[in-house]
Structure 1
Amino acid sequence: MTRAAPAHGSQPVHAAPNRARIKRSARMVEAEVKPPIDLRLAAPAAAVWMGSALTLWLRPALGFGTVSALSLLALVLGLLIRSRSSHTSFLMRSAVLPGCAAVFLCLLASSGAAALRVHAAEKDPVNLAAALGDWGRLELTITSDPQRMESSFGAAEPGNSRFLIRAWSVGVDTGDGVRSTSSSITVFGVGSTWGDLIPGEKVVAYGTFAPDAYSAFPGATLTAKSDPQVTGAAPWYQRAAVRVRDDFVHASARLAPESAGLLPGIILGDVSGISVALSADAKVAGLAHLLAVSGSHFSILCGAAMVFFRRAGPRPAAVLGFVLLVMLVVIVRPGPSVLRAAVMGAVTMLALLVGRTRTALPALFAAVIGLLFYDPALSVSPGFALSVLATGGLVLVAPAWSESLQRRGWPAGWADLLVVPIVAHLFTMPIVAAISGSISLASVPANILVAPVVAPLLILGAAAAAVVVFVPWAAEILIAGAGPLVGWIASVAHMAADWPLATVPWSSSVWGVMGLAALAAAAAFTLRARRIRALAAALTAGVAVVLIPSAALSIGWPPEAWAVVGCEVGQGDGFVLSTGEPGSAVVIDTGPDPDLMDACLERLGITAITLLVLTHLHADHVDGLEGAIRGRTVGALAVGPGREPKSAWQTVTRLAAVRGIPMMELAMGQRFSAGDVLLDVLGPDRGRIGSFLSPNDQSVVFRADVGGIRILFTGDIEDEAQRALLADGVDVRAEVLKLPHHGSATLLPALIAAVDAQVVMIGVGIGNDFSHPTKFALDTVRAAGARVVLRTDTDGDIAVCLGAGGISTATRGPSLRVGVG
């Protein structure tokens, strides 16, 4: 067969160029189509998290059994789906069984790993000694910088500084020879020698062991009764890190006082110089993540280093970025939170540099799996959940939202500036509400305001830390340049915390958290529509116009120069002492109702509680604890010797553990100070506790001195404990008396006469079932010469103030109905 010749004048057809153009067009279309999100490691990561958490929450054997049942259920489900999915594609059927098998293995492996860790911790000689309350000799390696506990609330006597040190036990001797041990331990030491220790040093100490009630694993504490004996020097790199940190703090001292304390915290994680007021305001404003080293710090610094060294090639840049990451971890201190932040920062940096969610998301899931196998305790850590959620939002949602804004004409940098804080806030809001019981409305605008200065500040600060040892003058120049930036962050924190409605209360129950998560997801989805965004903006503006002026109106409360306030919390006690620092107070008891206690502290503008004292564990004194700590920083939670009712003790310790609040037991003879407040613990005498028939008599009794006003707090002590105070010859004289047991009839006139108070304060609920305060109590205090009797049932919030003319009183007026509280 012959081929026809082309017509005259026509050109031959060339197919190759057309095929090349088609291939190029296909590649362009393929490049515009985004690959699907890679969630292959999501289920294994969730399984590892669930397996670890269930094993730690339940007893190891019960937890492992529960996880095993869930694992078998997952495998059986996969088999059923595979066998009955006749109408499902072959690809789907072939993927179901391996996926369920992966979940099965991850659940079993993570639960088994956590159970083995718990079992090993239970059998560790240090933890066995703690369970028995033994005295012994401990060989340990320091793993953290000493934390001066007086920074929140401490002993007043000079030279009695108390330190908390994290360490790793190596050997223990409780009288039967040295036994090898390998367990983390918390050491409490008194004296300046404990404050001089550095991570990596090997130390011998003597003291009393006790169980650590706040550790996810069985753990121990050592109350040291001797100075530490250093038996081994720290590694060279730890000594070098100490030199860098000390020189940096010294160079930062040239800045304004608040900036001088804040800059080392942001750059090096040294938060010892950050004031209580700034810490509290930063928390309200949603800026607490900037006050200490977080994942964003590692992302920015390592990312900047990789961009700077990119000309050397991607691999050398990545290696140099990793080296910088390791150096930062060493200088900041490789504690669990820092290691977690480093890993999450590396994942975020990967997402920003690669620009592909498909690459970064599997890296995040892999990091979660690796970290949970390394430390199963992270599965029950709120901080870890916050890090994972924030990082997940930044790698999953933030790039898409930023690109959407850029398509509408936003510059890339400004789009990221707006999107990052909004995404991080939405993703972490449910966990924050679960922890604090509140939502920060100031968080997004505050983070947007500080975002432009964060990266320059971190780069200047890191550069100063890098040269401070070798070229101090250059470091001082860099720190001077960072001064205005760190000052701006502090100013925004204070300003945002003072905004009306900066925080709003939210239920921290399971249903409240789930509801908030649903609202956040709905907001993220619906705000994609332009009309809904415009409607939301109009509604927000309307609410602000109506609510902000009304919230800003003052009703004359609190009064000027108040020293102590009794809160209207119903039938119970809730009292507040002014420390003299704005927003800071000491709280004594929390009443029976969380919302009423929270409202009282809100009216006083309290955002930081330096010390919270629970005189005893009855519901009318402790059930409001959750409201008192809601959205506030708490330096320490102090209790007396009583541990009954057991359910109340478990609730108190759980809330303290969740919020990371250190607990301490008050003992007769101790003296403490917090700002303008000086506390002397007067009782109970441990030698008499066994003879007390009523749990009320185990109440902590102490006298507070606030600006020269002596205030005696008596809890609910009854006649036995009152007689004991008088028999011991305790000086109970005071200008103000908190009447024992809400004014019950179990009152000794001799005690009231010994106190000789001018003002008596009574925490009591209107229309209560106990007829408090009794006529006998009121007649007794008036007969003893009390000039004023203040009652929260008839007067509402009550206050004693110190003015130029001496003591004065004020009342807010009752607001509760009969039966409340």
Structure 2
Amino acid sequence: MTPERQQPPVLDLRLLLPCLSAWGLGAWALSWSGQQRAVGALGAVALLLVALAAGVRYRGRHARPSWRRDGPGVVALGLVAAALVLGSSAAHESTRRVGPIDELVAQGAMVQAQGVVLTEPIVRAGRASSDSGSDPPRQVLLRVRLESVTARGVTTSVSAPVFVRAKESWADVGWRDRISLTGKLSPADPADPEVALLSPRGPPRPVGEPSVVRSAAEHLRSGMRTAVEPLPSDARALLPALVIGDTSLTPQELTDDMLVTGMSHLSAVSGSNVAVVLAALVGACRISGVRRRWRPWVAGAGLAFFVVLARPEPSVIRAATMGAIGLLGMSSSRRGSGTPALCAAILVLLAVDPWLARSYGFVLSSLATLGLLLFVRPWSAAINAHLPPRLHLVGPAIAIPLAAQLVCGPVIVLLQGNVSLIAVAANLVAAPFVAPATVLGVSIALVAVLSTTLATLVGWCGAPFALAIAWTARVSADVPGGALPWPDGAPGAVLLALVTTLGVLAGPWAVRRSRASPIVALALVVVVAISALPQRTLVWPPAGWRVVACDVGQGDGLVLASGPGRAVLVDVGPEGGGIDACLRRLGVRTLDAVVLTHFHDDHVGDLAAAIDDRPVGRILVTPVDDPQWATRQVQELAAERSIPVTRVVAGGRLEMGEVSATAWWPGRVVAGGSAANNASIVLHVRVGQTSALLLGDIEQEAGHAMLLAMRRDPMMAAAAADLDVVKMPHHGSSNLDEDFMDRVAAPVAIISVGEDNTYGHPTPAALRWARDHGARVLRTDQDGDIAVVDGPAVLTSR
């Protein structure tokens, strides 16, 4: 007799819609007053009572079960969830407003207070405010719950969370420390989880002894940091980051590469880290023969140890909750209970902290866990169906990062403004190394309690895995076309969600059809291939281009779109560099203006080709005639075609169609360096929604002069803080003022440079600066013509 085939557990999704609805309502309600939230909660309770009464009458008349049976239950669960979230939010709001805190905030009062630290301090570098060579002072950010406030001689008990922005002397406080402080209160945003901002006067003063939990955590963490000191820098940085989220030792370059490649979640305490630790514990229990009934206790003890090691602040508690639920849902016997457990956990966490409803970290963590519950097991099974049993680890290894990336993609678009094409591949390559590195990292902390030397040996065992993760991030970050330009903001997120949903729903059908019909299979291959190819290969110029850096060899030639068929041209490149061909490819028939930043041949040499058969409104030039022969050549060409020539100095403005530009330089003649290069016209341009800074060939002296001017001119400073693109000076030369460049750093850095030039451009120093500032570097010698479209997205012609 053939045994009955065991059916896989069915996911219970009945609580998912009520949970998501209550979550959205809770996020919206954060902008309401406490009374409005209370009224909303009471309204949900009233509707629940009405629905229950109607449900009883309905069941009395219609006892036959059908799909309608679950409808009233889902509605009732939705109302319960809404009442829970709104009621807890109202209670939190009323509690934190107890006492005179609102009045003191409105008056900007100076207070003395005692409170409890709610988060670990975040230390950030400050801004330099002088020309001294010393590092700028660091800034410390943290949250504190004030429990008593003394103002005007009156002490009042309160429970008011405040956001503290303090000096470096606050960096040593820790979670759950009780402190006494003095500071000035100021208003916070009404939707913020804090009731006020507090600017402290002086360092905090400890009250009582640090908590036992904090002392134990710090002892474990310090032992781990000491044990990994002899390891290579990337391993020394990543092992603590993977386990305890300590990124203090991570080089900025590696941090940026992990962010670009979608691997930054590995260096934070997340649900995936927790799931790895729990899975390792459960596996060890099975191997060692621990009885089944004791395994949950062992896993719970391990989870408690991990939480203490990572410091039990709210973000770690959330990660532990999500990791435990993810592991529960991925198990073969408990999969059906995973989704209800996740929904229940979300509602409980929202009740404990209603402001999580607007936390990107909480959204990403919850969505990643939901993706694991919904897709990992079926996708793993589908992949493994085509593999021999010994390779069945491949299915989960592919399904886990793919599910997390697809589900979290719409939220990531809100944060990054593009869709990473390399993130899934990078996480797939790194996945085999994450689990052993995490488990060995936890082992380092455990062994360090007994012996630092033994812990270091364990660290050397984990170093190869950590180095492999770092290598994956560094290599993946340099892959051309690793990110797909995508609409920014809410429209982009909604569009990606729709595309993802369509792909997930239509994927099985497409696979079946492709098997049945070779033509459909061929069509799918063609569609995927065309989608994977960079847009630059098929369509040039891209629709809606705003700024194009033409590949003119060792020189500059930038085109600013001022209208249909019209443009402003900034520099024309060397003679024979191809500026005319670039303009033809862009469909530019009229030049409203030609800006020649300075008179070196690599910027003015091809002027005749650029203006030969195009109407030109005027030519704008620098006031410094160096070299003079080039100046005469430009003037003669302009005179032959009756084109007016105008000198440009700092403060000059240019308004032509969609192009708005302000000259930042030259403001004066500077001593030192190349007089011609330092006299380059520097333009801040705005074309459509794109803000760009074109730096000509300025050198260190002109850069420093502009830095001083920026400190006096708030308009320049504001423009510098809102740049999308910076055209690097002098083809990527190292002769630049890094303080000035730090102020004008932008997400995209364009280097106009010739292939195999004899100057060594771009220099390692220039590339290192761009990399250190997280800029995406585009080079005309490698990428061809470079186009910036609104967004701003960047496409290249190669």
Q: TM-score, normalised by structure 2?
A: 0.66
Q: 2:251, 2:127 → 1: CA distance?
A: 9
Structure 1 residue matching 2:159: 3-state secondary structure = strand
Name the structure 1 match of 2:575: none
Name the structure 1 match of 2:23: 49
1:689-741 deviations in Å (ceiling 9; x for gaps): xxxxxxxxxxxxxxxxxxxxxxxxxxxxxxxxxxxxxxxxxxxxxxx996387
Name the structure 1 match of 2:596: none
Instruction: Please state if 1:168 is matched with 2:148.
Output: no
Deviation at 1:226, TM superposition (A): 0.9
* 1:199/1:234 contact within 8 Å kept: no
Q: 1:560, 1:248 → 2: CA distance?
A: 51
* 1:569/1:765 contact within 8 Å kept: no
> Where do 1:468-479 residues align within 5 Å?
468-479=448-459
Q: 2:476, 2:539 → 1: CA distance?
A: 15
Structure 1 residue matching 2:125: 3-state secondary structure = helix
> Where do 1:436-585 residues align within 5 Å?
436-529=416-509, 530=511, 536-544=524-532
* 1:737/1:759 contact within 8 Å kept: no
1:73-107 deviations in Å (ceiling 9; x for gaps): 78777877987898893455554444433322322
Which of 233, 242, 248 is the equivalent residue of 2:218? 242
Name the structure 2 match of 1:762: 683
Name the structure 2 match of 1:388: 366
Distance 1:445 1:799, change over 3 A: closer
Name the structure 1 match of 2:325: 347
> Where do 1:619-698 residues align within 5 Å?
none
* 1:298/1:341 contact within 8 Å kept: yes
Name the structure 2 match of 1:150: 125
Instruction: Please state if 1:103 is matched with 2:78.
Output: yes
Q: 2:688, 2:496 → 1: CA distance?
A: 37
Q: 2:104, 2:212 → 1: CA distance?
A: 33
Distance 1:552 1:754, change over 3 A: closer
* 1:82/1:94 contact within 8 Å kept: no
Which of 387, 390, 395 is the equivalent residue of 1:409? 387
Distance 1:122 1:147, change over 3 A: same
* 1:57/1:63 contact within 8 Å kept: no
1:24-58 deviations in Å (ceiling 9; x for gaps): x6xx43x5234543223224423432342231144
Name the structure 2 match of 1:326: 304
The residue identity in structure 1 corresponding to 2:429 is: L
Name the structure 2 match of 1:292: 268
* 2:417/2:486 contact within 8 Å kept: yes
Deviation at 1:387, TM superposition (A): 1.5
Q: 1:567, 1:242 → 2: CA distance?
A: 56
Name the structure 2 match of 1:141: 116
* 1:163/1:188 contact within 8 Å kept: yes
Q: 1:251, 1:335 → 2: CA distance?
A: 24
Name the structure 2 match of 1:281: 257
Name the structure 2 match of 1:263: 239
Name the structure 2 match of 1:739: 651
Q: 1:214, 1:737 → 2: CA distance?
A: 46
The residue identity in structure 2 corresponding to 1:189 is: A
The residue identity in structure 2 corresponding to 1:282 is: M
Structure 2 residue matching 1:258: 3-state secondary structure = helix
The RMSD of aligned alpha carbons is 4.5
Distance 1:568 1:64, change over 3 A: farther
Comparing 93-102 and 472-481, the one that deviates more: 93-102
Q: 2:553, 2:463 → 1: CA distance?
A: 36
Q: 1:100, 1:234 → 2: CA distance?
A: 47
* 2:271/2:321 contact within 8 Å kept: yes
The residue identity in structure 1 corresponding to 2:140 is: F
Distance 1:317 1:33, change over 3 A: closer
Instruction: Please state if 1:428 is matched with 2:408.
Output: yes
Distance 1:68 1:767, change over 3 A: closer
Deviation at 1:559, TM superposition (A): 10
Name the structure 2 match of 1:122: 97
Deviation at 1:120, TM superposition (A): 2.6
Number of corresponding residues: 600
Deviation at 1:284, TM superposition (A): 1.9
Name the structure 1 match of 2:747: none
Structure 2 residue matching 1:232: 3-state secondary structure = coil
Structure 2 residue matching 1:169: 3-state secondary structure = strand
Comparing 333-342 and 524-533, the one that deviates more: 524-533
Deviation at 1:170, TM superposition (A): 2.2
1:138-169 deviations in Å (ceiling 9; x for gaps): 21223333322118989974694332233332
Deviation at 1:332, TM superposition (A): 0.8
Instruction: Please state if 1:230 is matched with 2:206.
Output: yes
Comparing 95-104 and 226-235, the one that deviates more: 95-104
Structure 2 residue matching 1:222: 3-state secondary structure = strand
Q: 1:108, 1:147 → 2: CA distance?
A: 35
Name the structure 2 match of 1:627: none
1:231-262 deviations in Å (ceiling 9; x for gaps): 22212231121122122222222222233222
The residue identity in structure 2 corresponding to 1:341 is: A
Which of 123, 127, 131 is the equivalent residue of 2:106? 131
Distance 1:814 1:350, change over 3 A: closer
The residue identity in structure 2 corresponding to 1:147 is: I
Name the structure 2 match of 1:649: none
Name the structure 1 match of 2:675: none
| Identity within the alignment, % | 24
Distance 1:510 1:766, change over 3 A: closer
Name the structure 1 match of 2:285: 309
Structure 2 residue matching 1:409: 3-state secondary structure = coil
Which of 12, 23, 34 is the equivalent residue of 1:38? 12
Deviation at 1:539, TM superposition (A): 3.5
Structure 1 residue matching 2:383: 3-state secondary structure = helix
Give ranges in structure 1 of 5+ residues lacking alignment: 1-20, 572-735, 769-780, 785-790
Name the structure 2 match of 1:400: 378
Q: 2:129, 2:305 → 1: CA distance?
A: 34
Q: 1:39, 1:767 → 2: CA distance?
A: 46
1:335-389 deviations in Å (ceiling 9; x for gaps): 2221111100000111234443212222112211211111111112222222222
Structure 2 residue matching 1:489: 3-state secondary structure = helix
Instruction: Please state if 1:112 is matched with 2:90.
Output: no
Which of 159, 168, 183 is the equivalent residue of 1:182? 159
1:97-143 deviations in Å (ceiling 9; x for gaps): 44433322322232122122123323454554333221121212233
Q: 1:551, 1:138 → 2: CA distance?
A: 63
Q: 2:475, 2:540 → 1: CA distance?
A: 14
Structure 2 residue matching 1:148: 3-state secondary structure = strand
Deviation at 1:295, TM superposition (A): 0.2
* 1:79/1:97 contact within 8 Å kept: no
Distance 1:92 1:742, change over 3 A: same
Q: 2:360, 2:383 → 1: CA distance?
A: 32
Distance 1:476 1:220, change over 3 A: same
Q: TM-score, normalised by structure 1?
A: 0.64
Name the structure 2 match of 1:727: none
1:449-500 deviations in Å (ceiling 9; x for gaps): 0011111111111101111132111110111121121111112112222222
Distance 1:805 1:561, change over 3 A: farther
Distance 1:73 1:764, change over 3 A: same
* 2:41/2:84 contact within 8 Å kept: no
The residue identity in structure 1 corresponding to 2:233 is: P
Q: 1:766, 1:508 → 2: CA distance?
A: 17
Structure 2 residue matching 1:49: 3-state secondary structure = helix
